[in-house]
Amino acid sequence: MKLKQRVVLLAILLVIFIFTKVFLIDNLDTSAANREDQRAFHRMMAGLRVELVPKLDHTLQSPWEIAAQWVVPREVYPEETPELGAIMHAMATKKIIKADVGYKGTQLKALLILEGGQKVVFKPKRYNRDYVVEGEPYAGYDRHNAEVAAFHLDRILGFRRAPLVVGRFVNLRTEIKPVATEQLLSTFLTVGNNTCFYGKCYYCRETEPACADGDTMEGSVTLWLPDVWPLQKHRHPWGRTYREGKLARWEYDESYCDAVKKTSPYDSGPRLLDIIDTAVFDYLIGNADRHHYESFQDDEGASMLILLDNAKSFGNPSLDERSILAPLYQCCM
């Protein structure tokens, strides 16, 4: 082989060697990065895992006292919550000492008082897990399991703005009816062999009760926020009209956010950014029904937007309602 041919061959081999080495190094770097990502993911999941344990260690306080102390203007619960499992266990198991109709609203719920005086909101199961709600993105009854899932997404995202929620089975005959107020008791009926109730709300009808499986009803239990933190209700600036053929201003005016920025409490403080955070949260859970929202009272716009009433979520896994993100893409902040 001539010298020139040898030089060319060596040059080709050198190029192949360099590319192979670079490729292997890139793969090693990528693999190392992937392994670190996986380790970080597992650490995050380990931190989010909750075991419903009955005991509170190292404290004489009740679970309700601890949960009440967690609440501050920008958080419902802190990042580190070793007592969370015990509090959720208490929510799921403590004796019900009183049951009443739910607070005002459009959907069926019951207000329960648990042993120790803690108020919780009970939302009954209306659909099987695999039921798909067709129609408008805000159609259908509340989904109790959506409240549970939304609470845990709030934890994953690090917002910490949703009240604590846990699933619970209640026996309507032995746990609810003996301690129910006359107003709630008057809405009980029997359908077949199942105990049912329809409560008091805007859309509550005797013809559309929530029914237990026999006497046992599945539902979600949401922890009532402490009375020392009274709530203030606000109309959501990106609320829907809920009228066929009538659009809200934000649905046709792309400069709508400019007008919002000039009005209180969106002209200063974190409230508009909270609206945008909530839009992302609602898009992920499929909640197109946040027509109002709550903050803490007399906060002058400094309080967080509290992620209450997330049950109109997870209705249709095939539907991604882009309009929920309007605060994000119109304000672009």
Annotated binding site: 107, 123, 142, 222-225, 294, 309
Residues listed for the chain:
333
User: Following DSSP, what letter does each residue of 99-160 receive, concatenated?
Assistant: EEEPPSSSS--EEEEETTTEEEEEEE--S-TT----SSTT-SS--HHHHHHHHHHHHHHT--
* Cβ(93)–Cβ(169) below 8 Å: no
Residue type, 165: V
What Cα–Cα distance (Å) separates residue 98 from each residue in 102, 109, 205? 12, 14, 23
Read off the tokens for 223: 């922890």
Residue identified by tokens 């409230």 is 271
DSSP letter for 179, please.
Answer: G
Q: Which residues are catalytic?
A: 289
With CA atoms as reference, report the closest residue to 333 among 270, 265, 249: 270
The amino acid occupying position 23 is F
Please give the annotated binding residues for ATP, written as ranges. Answer: 107, 123, 222-225, 294, 309
DSSP letter at 304 equals P
Q: How does strand 216-223 pair with strand 194-197?
A: unpaired
